[in-house]
Amino acid sequence: MNNWLNNFIRPKIRSLVGTQKDVPDNLWDKCPSCDNMVFHRELTENDFVCHHCDFHMAISAEDRLALMFDGGKYSRHKNKSVPADPLKFKDRKKYADRLKDTRAKTNEDDAIIIASGKIGGNPVVIALFNFKFMGGSMGAAVGEGIVTAAEIAVKTKSALIAVPASGGARMQEGAISLMQMPRTIIAVNRVKKARLPYIVLLTNPTTGGVSASFAMVGDIHIAEPGATIGFAGKRVIQETIREELPDDFQTAEYLLEHGMVDMVVPRAELNAVIGQALSLLMNTKIADNPKGKKSKTTKNTENGKSVVSVASVSSSGEKMEAVNEDAARSAVKKSA
Ligand SMILES: [Zn+2]
């Protein structure tokens, strides 16, 4: 009876009335920063940046890769497999079950994605965190992903870009997750030894063991506007040192002012800015900025400090006289 209703009557009624299925459920999104309603399609077209207040919302791993690589083209690489649940950990739920559920939900093996392609015409390997996979927490698989990405970068003479979005270490893997900190540092050092650029794009949030390891040793640190970047939480620090901390503490902009971040770059300009920086570092011809956008919110604290830092970390330093001044200026706008 029920089947007959579902399989026969309902489609009949649908075909008579016309389905409403092509109207998506989530036409509008609310901006968490300014509370304005934003049309979902506009948000997608604007790389999930609120056009009222420029707030950078969370963006999926696929969308981020597409906006970073030239023409949105890239290929993915398989991560090496690691022992799952080595400690047989269990809290309210078994870690093994938690992993299984998250894998089914996200269609990913773990919180790291390795992809390669070109940025500004330069060969690049990106190790990108998927925050949707257990908060982008770093366990053995994520560590393995950074090592694999670094190995591919060295083998293919590509730049390595790490894009963290992580709450820190994966507690279910205990000390093994902490071991990923020195491990990832050794991995990115191999890239540096091969005289290839290593860039970190700090996205919201970059905290805990990730910010205390490979994410803070880049040749250039780029951050997205408004991203939270820090080790321990603000409240914990405040209670420990018994001092009031500024409102913008642990934001990308605060870290730019205090020298931990070299550039704060809006999402729409990431491809162009990273492309120019890589061309300077890898001594390739600087590609014309296809979108013709200038970095408007990229600013700097001291006179051209970023330009100096770009030059000083060049992996093939002796040819820096070839630097195109105009490109350098638009890549890192000097402060007035
Ligand atoms: Zn907004």
Domain ranges of the chain: 20-57, 59-331
Q: Positive or negative CA dihedral for 83, 86, 91, 96?
A: positive
Tell how far the Cα of 307 is from the centroid of ligand 1, in angstroms: 31
* Higher per-residue confidence, 280 vs 19: 280
pLDDT, tens digit (0-9, with 9 covering 90-100), for 60-81? 999 999 999 999 999 999 999 9
Q: Which residues contact 68 (CB under 8 A, 6 or more apart)?
A: 119, 126, 161, 163, 201, 270, 271, 274
Fold of 59-331: 2-enoyl-CoA Hydratase; Chain A, domain 1 (3.90.226)
Q: Rounded to two decimals, what is the model's pTM? A: 0.79
Burial category of 46 from C-beta neighbours within 10 Å (exposed 0-12, middle 13-18, buried 19 and up): middle
pLDDT of 315 higher than 90: no
pLDDT of 92 higher than 80: yes
Average pLDDT over residues 157-180: 97
pLDDT of residue 283: 84
Q: What amino acid is encoded at 28 in this protein?
A: W
pLDDT of residue 288: 61
Tell how far the Cα of 146 is from the centroid of ligand 1, in angstroms: 33
pLDDT of residue 322: 37
pLDDT of residue 298: 42
Q: Give the tokens for residue 228.
A: 């939270």
Q: Positive or negative CA dihedral for 57, 74, 222, 296?
A: negative
> CA dihedral in degrees (54, 58, 62, 64; nearest 10)?
40
Neighbours of ion ligand 1 (CB under 5 A): 31, 33-34, 50, 52-53, 55
Tell how far the Cα of 253 is from the centroid of ligand 1, in angstroms: 18
Tell how far the Cα of 221 is from the centroid of ligand 1, in angstroms: 25
pLDDT, tens digit (0-9, with 9 covering 90-100), for 218-261? 999 999 999 999 999 999 999 999 999 999 999 999 999 999 99
Average pLDDT over residues 79-84: 93
pLDDT, tens digit (0-9, with 9 covering 90-100), for 285-305? 776 655 544 444 444 444 444
Tell how far the Cα of 38 is from the centroid of ligand 1, in angstroms: 8
